[in-house]
Amino acid sequence: MSTPSFSRPPSTRSAESVPRAKGNGKTDAELGDNVVHDAVFGELSGGGPNYRNLSTMGAWVLISKANIGLGVLSLPYVLHILGLVPGLILLVTIAAIIAYCAAQVGSFKLRHPEVYDLADGGLVVGGRPLKEILYFFFYLYMITMVSSAIVSVSTALNAVSAHGACTAVFIAVSAIMGLLLGSIRTLDKVSIVGWAGLVSLAAALLTLTIAVGLQDRPPDAPKLGPWDKDLHVVAQPTFAKAMSAIASIVFSFGSTATYWNVASEMRNPRSYTKAMLWSVGIITVVYCVIGGVVYGYCGRYVASPALGSAGPLLKKICYGIAIPALVGSLTIYGHLAGKHIFIRLLKGTRHLASNSRVHWMTWLGCMFAGTVISYIIASAVPNFGSIISLVGAFVCPTVAIWPYNLMWWHDNWRYASPERRRNWRLRAELALNIFLFVLAFFLTAGGTYGAIMDVIETTSDAGPWSCDDNSHSV
């Protein structure tokens, strides 16, 4: 086993020292399919999958689709809990924090090209113990997200079909779809599914926004007579409810851990930061507009998820339009969960980037195992929405915030010369990273407390492998 790279200063490895393919000095983007060696995937040839063929636009699509899903539909209710002004301020603030931390992925990957995922970054900074801690949190996050996506697809199928079959059947069908599409081996091919998902989600959100603006009143409002929206410009929630709402915002931006995989498969990893910043910026605008408009029209009668605020018919239409988007999320997270294990098992062997029998058996085995685990969780856990909130509050700050503060410290302060440490800008950024590191643990503690209180207060009549309609359409 080689000595972890945290034993030497990163300053000896500039961004320009990223291993390139043998191609007469050409850049990764110019080489394209001719890349023959990669620090993660090893020898790449025409006989196996090209893991370094993801374009900048493809990266933008995957980053965007990994973040934006039906999670956006919980934001109108979050604004009701926090109040419109504090909610929007917190949304933009958290987006800025996540973007700052996510930017460390690009610079860290360039300095340490052997890093594939969050756990590998932990190995560089803190050795094997930190690697295994981050590996556990990342895989817990991924499996939970796959389970959530399975439930979301089954909910859409229930809504569109007016509960045309037992929900357990729809969950099984969703899991099979995730297995088949997630088994595509490279992210440049998966990005095609991401494009379809983004287009369908945009159409569904536009339909929802127009519907709530044109309808006389939300379905949950009084059927006759006047009704009060009870809009909160500034609300006064309890600590538990406020932290649970903030955790929902963090969850809506919390897919930073998947960005490592995206950067690792890009033809030109130097374009990662540009793709990420454009993605987070556009997503933040979408979140603010959709959340503010839907809450403004529905007030306290906003549903969560917000598709229920458009009435029974529009709810069915919106869910139907959004099915490709939900399947897209399921595909991306299922693919990355399987590849996470796959690369750990085969990294450093000739089978990783070949078409050998070992390669295919390992790849399909990892995909099948991850799908089965996610299917069991999706089917067996009552109050799954509350469990998602709990895991999101407990896991998201770990996969999206504090590890990146340690990585900044490792690359910019740990081995910095005394002269550089006296630079006031560097000291100010160190203070910022320390603040964000502490904030992450506060969000974990407070969000977990709020989510636990929500689990305690929420009841469900549905048991494991229930046939009950999880879309509440009938």
**Of 309, 341, 352, nearest in space to 74 by CA:** 309
Look at the alpha carbons of 420, 423, 428, 434 in this order and tell me if their dihedral is positive or negative. positive
pTM of the model: 0.87
Beta bridge partner(s), residue 54:
266
Provide the residue ranges of all domains of the chain, joining segments of one domain with +. Answer: 52-461
Residues in the chain: 474
Q: Which pLDDT does position 312 carry in this prediction?
A: 79
Phi, psi angles (nearest 5°) of residue 186: -125, 150
Separation CA 88–CA 108 (nearest Å): 31
| Residue linked to tokens 């550089």 | 420
Q: Which pLDDT does position 370 carry in this prediction?
A: 93
Q: Which pLDDT does position 19 carry in this prediction?
A: 39
Q: Which pLDDT does position 15 carry in this prediction?
A: 35
Separation CA 277–CA 184 (nearest Å): 27
DSSP 268: -
Helices marked H in 43-186: 56-67, 75-82, 84-111, 118-161, 167-182
CATH of 52-461, picked from 1.20.1740.10, 3.20.20.150, 3.30.420.40, 1.10.3720.10, is 1.20.1740.10
Separation CA 51–CA 151 (nearest Å): 30
Tokens read off for 91: 């949304």
Instruction: Compute mean pLDDT per 10 residues along the chain, 474 residues long, and list them.
Output: 40 37 39 63 80 93 84 80 94 95 95 94 94 93 89 88 83 94 94 92 87 80 80 89 88 90 93 95 91 86 72 84 91 94 91 92 96 89 65 87 96 89 92 96 91 72 66 65
